Amino acid sequence: MTMQLRGSPFLTSATQPIFAPGQMDACFPTMTKSIRSGMGKLKIQKSDAEWRSQLTSEQYRVTRQGGTERAFSSLDWDRRQPGLYRCVCCGRTLFSSEKKFDAGVGWPNFTAPVDDEAMTEHPDRSFFIPRTEVRCADCNAHIGHVFGDGPLPRGRRYCANGIALEFQKGLPATAARSGNPAD
Ligand SMILES: [Zn+2]
């Protein structure tokens, strides 16, 4: 298997944009089909004050305000134990260690979410290159971004903020073992 990884667009010092403007959308022509309209369909809706009281200030900044944690600041970026990664806001399982890989960029990276319904995808044009943001499907927490430079054959790289995730040690016996763990 060929691993083709390049620098993370999270890095503001990046001098080689991975995608030209508009190119990201071309990479994922079906992506917009999964985009939901947002708050209307969420299972978990809380007021801003409730989120603020539940989360630390950094968790709130990242998950509810779309922030990005500092690279290498989370224990999760190179965690290797088997386990599940849940949304820190609502507890929904988003990723499994089986799809985790080290992209060397200082944030936890996964080749796929635990299931296709776990997260929603949203165009993000706040950066100098267009990106695709991923949010928890249940509570709309900002988790990170998905890029097209992941391991083949699927080629997707979910770059998450570790602070948006809660690690639960151990995998359930029924955990799916199909697909492409890529590590
Ligand atoms: Zn959530």
Mean pLDDT of successive 10-residue stretches along the chain, which has 183 residues: 44 40 38 42 92 97 95 80 96 96 90 96 90 97 96 94 95 59 45
128 lies in which domain range?
47-169
pLDDT at 39: 53
Distance from the CA of 38 to the center of ligand 1, in angstroms? 13
Whether 159 sits among the annotated catalytic residues: the reply is yes
The CA R_g of the chain, rounded to the nearest whole Å, is 16
Distance from the CA of 172 to the center of ligand 1, in angstroms? 20
Q: For residue 164, tell me if it sits in a domain.
A: yes
Q: For residue 26, tell me if it sits in a domain.
A: no
| Integer Cα distance of 96 and 165 in angstroms | 11
Is-contact 173 125, C-beta < 8 A?
no
Distance from the CA of 92 to the center of ligand 1, in angstroms? 6
Q: Output the pTM of the full model.
A: 0.73
Q: For residue 2, tell me if it sits in a domain.
A: no
Which position among 89, 90, 139, 159 bears the catalytic label? 159
Q: Cβ of 64: how many Cβ atoms within 10 Å?
A: 20
Distance from the CA of 59 to the center of ligand 1, in angstroms? 12
pLDDT at 40: 59
How many independent structural domains does the chain possess? 1
Side-chain half-sphere CA neighbours of 126 within 13 A = 10
Q: For residue 148, tell me if it sits in a domain.
A: yes
Structure tokens at 109: 């990276």
Q: For residue 58, tell me if it sits in a domain.
A: yes
Q: What is the CATH number of the domain that holds 151?
A: 2.170.150.20
Distance from the CA of 33 to the center of ligand 1, in angstroms? 21
Q: For residue 9, tell me if it sits in a domain.
A: no
| Integer Cα distance of 107 and 168 in angstroms | 18
Q: For residue 65, tell me if it sits in a domain.
A: yes
pLDDT at 174: 59
